[in-house]
Amino acid sequence: MWLLVGGMTGDYRWVEDFDDLIRAIDCTFADTGRPVEVAADCAGDGGTVLAIGFSMAAGAADCLDLAHELPDPVVESLRTLLTSPRIRLRGANFKADMGWLAARLGIDCTNFAFDPLLTGSLLDENRSNSLATYTRLYTEIEEGTSHDPLLYRLGRAVDAVFQSAAAIRHELLASPALAHFYVSLLHPASLAFGRLERHGVLASRERFEALRVELEGEDGRGGALADLDRQVLALLPGRLRMKYADNLSVRPAMLRDFFFGTAGLHLKPRMVTPRQGEPSTAKAHLAMFHDVPEAAAMVEVLEARSAAAKMLSAYVKGFLKHLHADGRFHPSYMLFAGRADDGDTADSGTVTGRTSARDPAIQTVPKRGTWAKKLRRCFVAPPGMAIWSTDAAQGELKIAACLADEANMLAAYRAGLDLHAVTGASMMDMPTDAFMALAADVQDREKMERFELGRFKAKAANFGLLYGMQAKGFVRYAWQTFKMVLSETQAQGMIDRFFATYPGLLDWHETARKRARRDGAVANPFGRVRHLPWIRSSDRQVASRAERQAINAPVQSTLSDLTCWALSEIDRQIPDARPCAMIHDAVLGYCPEDRAEEIGRRIVEVAGNLPIETMCGWRPQLRLTFDHEYGPDMGSMVKMKG
């Protein structure tokens, strides 16, 4: 049956099986001797796949209704299309469909070779990468209407995948470095992420519920949040408590009066609301007054209250909405900037190359903070198993040292020194060996406190100043990330000492900025490109932001790509490792409890010996090693011995 679309005859049709399509593919293969390019897509509703379609020619699609049980011959025809080496399958974010096909039909797709959304985002991460966008950019498919909306939607999507994939593949091949990066690293990693989505992450509903009760009490009243509210109210001056006596609940008007009103601290606001022009009560604004003695206690309590509220709403209640009947989360990992569906709003993924996840956003699970460990204890290993985590040891700093060719950083790592200790010695104005000696005498509390203070400052400096943060920004960063109170003068002193210790970083910053201004883009050693056309903007603020991105994008994307590559190789080479998630830049998985050390050593070996130079021609000056830990749950892991 032909489908009439918008007054044009299109070959979108329902079929009872795919025998005709398979015969056409076989004939084409016999004529050419090369695998046939075939597009595939699924149509669904609320997580249920309703139909699947395939196409081997522009303007055509054969679609099959999946609402009913399929006869065995039809399942076998699907298996042929999804596994035959005579076919190179194209699919937009098809890893998600592959998971459904495996769960519903028991078919593991083995011939998926090209994802136009993933490759299109490599070519231009700044546009809205979606099938709707690609339909407009790369095809002549017109909008239309149909008496059969499902067939129209699916047929049009399959057709768009086929046509856009051909055009995007042609563009990709014009950039050999990007093409090599996609084929060798990114596509295999996307398949590994698909398996992660299918396997899922085990959660303890009982522990989540206990954490909820601790935060908000048995009946939604009480708990830590209520206690923090009482602390906020206790810090109010009497005049404000009287003013709000009829409703003593923490709210913006009350905080505005406390910080900026005449009955409160009467501080001068630094941010105002865009419409009313009133002092902002946003967390970031109020945190700016952490160094005002009269405001410090309130800022600290509000920070704690905000952290507890976010833990409850985002990580406890928010996550539990996505817990499946099998007791696991099955998040969707976004490896590109854009949308996985037919929408046209780029609200998923990142433009930096770092991965993200949704439903739930498991990659954002915090590692530090008052509630982080309790949340992490909710993610448990299956019976008889241990949960493990591996990540690149000081990966961001090592990669930056290599890209900057910073002599002192490289020398420190080659000597086996902890870079935080080297920076800490600089912050304390001491030789490194003298600084390390402070930690040797564990009985001397004063020395240990000096050592911890120096290392604490070092972490703030290493991660905050690596990309050239200015004093005012470093004051905010040090407080928000490390709760370190600095004046701008103190911040500038730390900045001066940091770059005196690592002077090569300044040359690297300037080189990166110049290259980005010249090319309008920067690339990491694996070939991934970050396009920065606005670096030439006449708006200095916009250009400055792009300059910072020119410095940090290659480092952060290299670390993300390295970790994704490690995940792919662990998944391929170590069957008993069973990767289950990526959180920040760490890979997690499950392994037999009685073999945790053995498998952990194998994981570290595989991840720490990736053939980087062979794959991309980059020979980093340092070996990029991986740390490893394991335990009964994510919050109780210990570092692997040796």
Q: Where are the domains of the chain?
A: 3-174, 188-200+329-395+508-642, 204-322, 407-502
Q: Are strands 626-631 and 529-531 parallel, antiparallel or unpaired?
A: unpaired
pTM over 0.85: yes
Q: Which two tokens stand for residue 501?
A: 């210790």
Residue 236: DSSP 8-state: S
Per-residue pLDDT at 147 = 82
Tokens 């794959």 identify what position?
Answer: 615
CATH 1.20.1060 fits 204-322, yes or no: yes
Q: Please list the residues that pair with 389 across neighbouring strands.
A: 588, 629
pLDDT in tens, 132-144: 999 999 998 887 7
Residue 579: DSSP 8-state: E
- Say which CATH topology domain 188-200+329-395+508-642 has: Alpha-Beta Plaits (3.30.70)
Domain 3-174, architecture per CATH: 2-Layer Sandwich (3.30)
Q: Which residues of 328-353 are buried (b: 16+ CB within 10 A; e: fewer)?
A: bbbbbbbbbbbbbebeeebebbbbbb
What Rg, from alpha-carbon coordinates, does the chain have? Answer: 28
Decide whether 3-174 matches 204-322 in CATH topology.
Answer: no
Per-residue pLDDT at 340 = 58
Per-residue pLDDT at 442 = 67
Around Cβ 75, how many Cβ atoms within 10 Å? 15
Q: Please list the residues that pair with 300 across neighbouring strands.
A: none
CA gap 49, 75 in Å, rounded:
15
Q: Are 326 and 200 in contact (CB under 8 A)?
A: yes
Q: Are 164 and 134 in contact (CB under 8 A)?
A: yes
Q: Are 378 and 207 in contact (CB under 8 A)?
A: yes
Q: Are 267 and 240 in contact (CB under 8 A)?
A: no
Per-residue pLDDT at 9 = 40
Per-residue pLDDT at 397 = 96
Extended beta strands in 165-223, E state: 201-202
pLDDT in tens, 321-378: 999 999 999 999 999 887 655 544 445 678 888 889 999 999 999 998 899 999 999 9
Q: Are 554 and 515 in contact (CB under 8 A)?
A: no
Residues of the chain with pLDDT under 70: 1-10, 46-47, 339-348, 442, 642
Tokens 């606001």 identify what position?
Answer: 269
Per-residue pLDDT at 351 = 84
The amino acid sitting at 417 is L
